[in-house]
Structure 1
Amino acid sequence: MAFLQPYMLWGMLAIAVPVAIHFWYQKRGKTIEWAAMRWLGEQTTLQHRGMRLHEVWLMIVRCLVVLLLALVLSKPVVGWLNNGGRPEVIHLVQADRLVIDTYRFELEKAQRSGERIYWLGTSPQKAIDLTKMTVPASQPKYLQQNINALSDGGGKDFRLYFRNDDDLEARVYVPGKYQLFPAADSLRKSEVDIFKNKPAFGRVIRVFLDYDDAGERQTVRAALTALREVYGFQFQIEEEKSPGRYEWVFTDRPMARPQPGTVYVVSGNAPQWNAPANVIQLRDTLRMANSELVESGRLPEWLGDLFVKELGLKTANPPLSRSQLNALFEKIPATGAQAEAALRPWLLLILVLLMAAERWLALRKTVRNHG
C-alpha cells in the first residue's frame, strides 16, 4: 500500500486523545466522607483496587474513528483495485474521413470484437456506425480531455487514431497502455506560405472592434494594421455595429451566444470551460498595463498566428515522425489519484459506520447511567 499524502499518518498519534479522555472521566468523581458508609466503602475499595476499564468497546470504536480519519486524509492507494487481467481496450477515433479510411480494417475488426469505439471531440461520444460521423470534425488537441473522461478511475488500453498534423502540439498523458495510429495525407497540396505569398489572403476580412475602453480598441487596431503591412491582409475594420456577419470580433464582453462562422477574441474575462471552439479567451485586457502580450510587443505576432490557424494559411510542414510522436505521448501509472479516488468511498463508508456505532454506544451508556 502506498500513500499520496503520507505525512497525514502522523494524525494517528491522536489516538491518545480518546484514551486519555476515557481515563479522565473515570476519575471525575469526588469522594465524600460519610460515617455510615465507611465500612462499605473500604470493602468496595478492596474489591476494585487497581486500574479499571469501563466501556472498553466505546473507547476502541473512538480510537478506530481517529485511525481511519487519518488513513482517509493520507489518501492510500492499493494495487489490488486495478484489474488483475487484461485492461479494457478503448478506441478513440478522430472524426475525420482520412483517419477512418486509413484504419478502416482495424476499426471494423474492433467493432466485431465488441470493443468500445468513441469519436474524438470536446467530449467523447460512442461510435455506432463508422460510415456515419454523428459528430463535427474534431482536432487532436482534444485528446487529453477525452482520455481523462474515458480512463474511469483505472488503467485502460487506449488505441488512439488521429491526423498527424500541426494541431497536435501539447504533451498527452495516458494512464495505462496505449497505441498510436496516426494518419497523414500523402497527397495533400502544398499550403500557402504566408512568408512567401503576399497578400497572404485573397479577400477582405470583416472585423468588428467591440470595446468599451478606447485604449484597448486602439491597441488591437494597431496590431491589425501591422499585420496588413507585413502580410498584406485586407481588413475591413468597423467600430460601430452594422448589418451582416463579421468574420472576426474583438471584444471585452462575455459571449453568451456566439455566432457560427465568426471567431471571437474575448479579453478581460475569466475563461469559461464550456466555451465553444470559435471563442478565444484571454484573462487579461489588451492594454499596456495588464497584458504581457502588449507590453512585450508580441500582440501582432500572436494575432498573426491566430489568423494563420483559423484561415488555414499554414506553412507546408511535413507530418511528425514516429520519434516526435512518441515524445509527445507519455504513459503514466494507472494508480495514484485515480486508484485513490476508487478507494475513498469505501473508507468513508466505514468511517460513517464507525461514527454511527460510537454514537449508539455513547447513548446506550448515557441511558444506563441514568436508568
Structure 2
Amino acid sequence: MELLQPIMLWGTLAIGLPILIHLWYSRKGKPMPWAAMRWLSEKEQQPKKGLKLDHLLLLVLRILIILLVAFILSKPFLPQLEKPIESTAVHLIEPTPALVEEFRFEIEQALEKGEQVYWMSEGLQPVESLEQATELTLDRNALPGFLADQLEEDQNLHIYLQPDGQYLELPTLVSPTEVSLYVSEQDIPKEGAPFVALAGEQVLRIEEGELGQSESVPTEGELVFEGPVSYKTENLEEQEIIFVEASLQAISEVYGLTFEAAPEEADSLVNIIFTDAIPAQGNENQIAIVKNTWGPAIQPNTYFMPTKLDKDESELIRSGRLPEFILEKWTEALNLKPQLQVSKQQLERIFKTSPKESAKKEANLNAWLIMLLLFLVLGERFAAFRKGV
C-alpha cells in the first residue's frame, strides 16, 4: 500500500482532543440528594478521588473517526486494485538512410507487428516504406510536439536517431512515458553540412569542428548564403566606424568573405547592423550589434554591447576579439554550426518522464473508507444519544 499524501497522517494527533474531553467530563460530579443520605457518615459522603474514563465505547468510536479521516486524507493507494494497462509501441525514426539501414531489422519487425511507426520529419509521416528515408527531410523540432500532444501514457516510445549534438539545443523533452533510444554507432556523415559560397568556387563551412575555407564546392549540403555580406553603421562615431571596418577587413582576409556597405534606405537587405538603438526585425540572416545597451536582448539575433565600440571602453576591441565576435554571431544566424557528436548517455539526459494528469495515481480505497466512516459516525451518534451526551 502507498500513501499519496502521507503528511496528512499528522492529523492523527487530534485523537488527544476526545481523550481530554472525556477525562474532563469524568471529573464532573452531579450531587444527587436522596432520603437516606443524612444517615451516612461524613467520611462516606466524600467523592472518590482519581480519574476514570466514562463512556468508553463512545470514546473509542470518536478516536476511530479521527484516525479514519486522517487516513482518508493521506490518499491510500493499493496497486493490486489497479487494472493492468496494455501498452502499445510507437517508433519515431530519423529519415537518414544510414540510420535506417543500421536498424532495419528492428524497424521491419515493428512494421510486421502493426505498431505505429513515424518518420521524424515535417508532419510526422507514417512509415510506409523504408525507401522514404531518401525523400524526406529531418525535422528535429517535431519531436517536442510529438511527446507533448500525440504520445499517450500507455504507449512505449522507441526513438532511432544519430548522436547529433543539435538535439541538446532542443527545449526540455518531456515524455508521458519512458523512452527507449536507439542511437547509431556510426559517425555522423560530413556531407550535407551547410556552407557559404565564396568567390572563386570556394566555400566556407565547418570542417572537423572548425570554420574554414574549402577549395571544392560540395555536391551535397545546404547553401545558406551567397554573395557579399552587406553591413551598415548607424549613429556611430568616426573612431567607432574605423574599428568596425578594420574588424570586417580582418574577417575578409582570413576567411575570404566580402563585405560591402549597404545604402541608407536598404534596412531589410542588410546582413550586419552596427547601431545605438534596437532596429526593426530584419531578415533571418541579419544580426544587429547595439552599443551602449545593457541586459539580454529579446529580439532574435540582436546583441547588446555595454560600451562604445572604441579601444578605451570596449574589451573586445582592446583584446582584438571583435572580428571573432562578429563572425561568430553571424554564422550562428546562418545556423552554420559544427556537427557535434554526443554519446547515448548525453541524449538520454535530455528526456524527462512526467506522466500526464490522467495517468497520475489516485487514491483507490477512498470509496470503501468513506463508507466505513459513515458507519462509524452513525454508531457514534447512536451511542451519544443513548448516553444523553
Specify the TM-score bucket, using the shorter chain as the normaliser.
0.5 to 0.7
TM-fit CA distance, 1:357: 8.4
Q: What is the match of residue 204 of structure 2?
A: 192
SS at match of 2:204: coil
How many angstroms apart in 1 are the aligned matches of 2:101 and 2:331? 28
Judged with a 3 Å threshold, the aligned counterparts in structure 2 of structure 1 residues 91 and 14 are, in CA distance, closer, same or farther, namely same
Q: Is the 8 A contact 1:249 1:264 kept in 2?
A: yes
Q: What is the match of residue 198 of structure 2?
A: none
Judged with a 3 Å threshold, the aligned counterparts in structure 2 of structure 1 residues 201 and 13 are, in CA distance, closer, same or farther, namely closer
- Residue type at the aligned position of 1:195: G
Q: Is the 8 A contact 1:82 1:154 kept in 2?
A: no
SS at match of 1:307: helix
Query: What does the per-residue CA deviation read over 1:171-213, in whole Å, with 9 as the maximum and x for residues that have no partner?
Result: 9999443222469557669963453469x97523346789xxx
Equivalent residues in 2 for 1:118-157 (5 A)?
118-120=118-120, 125=124, 127=126, 137-140=137-140, 152-153=152-153, 156-157=156-157
Q: What is the match of residue 247 of structure 2?
A: 226
SS at match of 1:226: helix
How many angstroms apart in 2 are the aligned matches of 1:35 and 1:61? 39
Judged with a 3 Å threshold, the aligned counterparts in structure 2 of structure 1 residues 157 and 202 are, in CA distance, closer, same or farther, namely closer
Q: Is the 8 A contact 2:92 2:159 kept in 1?
A: yes
Structure 2 regions of 5+ residues with no counterpart?
A: 37-46, 196-202, 206-210, 216-223, 309-313
How many angstroms apart in 1 are the aligned matches of 2:161 and 2:256? 37
SS at match of 1:53: helix
Query: What does the per-residue CA deviation read over 1:323-354, in whole Å, with 9 as the maximum and x for residues that have no partner?
Result: x54454347999xx64697774413x767996
Q: What is the match of residue 91 of structure 1?
A: 91
SS at match of 1:156: strand
Instruction: Choose 1 or 2 for highest CA Rg.
Output: 2
How many angstroms apart in 1 are the aligned matches of 2:111 and 2:378? 60
Judged with a 3 Å threshold, the aligned counterparts in structure 2 of structure 1 residues 309 and 332 are, in CA distance, closer, same or farther, namely closer
How many angstroms apart in 2 are the aligned matches of 1:239 and 1:361? 88
How many angstroms apart in 2 are the aligned matches of 1:38 and 1:253? 104
Judged with a 3 Å threshold, the aligned counterparts in structure 2 of structure 1 residues 280 and 307 are, in CA distance, closer, same or farther, namely same
How many angstroms apart in 1 are the aligned matches of 2:80 and 2:304? 48
SS at match of 2:362: helix
- Per the normalisation by structure 2, the TM-score is 0.51
- Residue type at the aligned position of 2:126: A
Equivalent residues in 2 for 1:319-358 (5 A)?
320=341, 325-326=343-344, 328-330=346-348, 338=354, 344-347=360-363
Residue 10 (structure 2) aligned to one of 4, 10, 14: 14
How many angstroms apart in 2 are the aligned matches of 1:33 and 1:166? 86
Structure 1 regions of 5+ residues with no counterpart?
A: 272-278
Q: Is the 8 A contact 2:267 2:282 kept in 1?
A: no
User: Is the aligned partner of 1:55 residue 2:71?
Assistant: no
SS at match of 1:346: coil
How many angstroms apart in 1 are the aligned matches of 2:372 and 2:322? 64
SS at match of 2:331: helix
SS at match of 1:195: strand
SS at match of 2:13: helix
Residue 227 (structure 2) aligned to one of 180, 203, 207: 203
How many angstroms apart in 1 are the aligned matches of 2:13 and 2:347? 49
TM-fit CA distance, 1:115: 2.0
Percent identity between the two aligned chains:
13
Q: What is the match of residue 276 of structure 1?
A: none
Residue 181 (structure 2) aligned to one of 175, 178, 181: 178
TM-fit CA distance, 1:59: 1.8
Judged with a 3 Å threshold, the aligned counterparts in structure 2 of structure 1 residues 366 and 314 are, in CA distance, closer, same or farther, namely same
How many angstroms apart in 1 are the aligned matches of 2:232 and 2:94? 33
How many angstroms apart in 2 are the aligned matches of 1:262 and 1:154? 43
TM-fit CA distance, 1:92: 1.8
Residue 287 (structure 1) aligned to one of 294, 297, 306: 306
Equivalent residues in 2 for 1:13-52 (5 A)?
14-27=10-23, 29=25, 31=28, 33-35=30-32, 48=54, 52=59
TM-fit CA distance, 1:307: 3.2
Q: Is the 8 A contact 2:248 2:259 kept in 1?
A: no
- Residue type at the aligned position of 2:306: R
TM-fit CA distance, 1:160: 1.1
Judged with a 3 Å threshold, the aligned counterparts in structure 2 of structure 1 residues 358 and 107 are, in CA distance, closer, same or farther, namely same
Query: What does the per-residue CA deviation read over 1:110-142, in whole Å, with 9 as the maximum and x for residues that have no partner?
Result: 4453222234369x8453666889x99445577
Higher helix share: 1
How many angstroms apart in 2 are the aligned matches of 1:357 and 1:223? 81
Judged with a 3 Å threshold, the aligned counterparts in structure 2 of structure 1 residues 287 and 326 are, in CA distance, closer, same or farther, namely same
Judged with a 3 Å threshold, the aligned counterparts in structure 2 of structure 1 residues 346 and 177 are, in CA distance, closer, same or farther, namely same
- Per the normalisation by structure 1, the TM-score is 0.52
Give the RMSD, CA atoms, in angstroms.
6.6
> How many residues were matched structurally?
325
Q: Is the 8 A contact 1:18 1:62 kept in 2?
A: no
TM-fit CA distance, 1:61: 1.9
TM-fit CA distance, 1:62: 1.9
How many angstroms apart in 2 are the aligned matches of 1:309 and 1:98? 27
- Residue type at the aligned position of 1:226: S
How many angstroms apart in 2 are the aligned matches of 1:259 and 1:79? 61
How many angstroms apart in 1 are the aligned matches of 2:80 and 2:259? 60
Q: What is the match of residue 331 of structure 2?
A: 308
SS at match of 2:60: coil
TM-fit CA distance, 1:64: 0.4
How many angstroms apart in 2 are the aligned matches of 1:208 and 1:281? 15
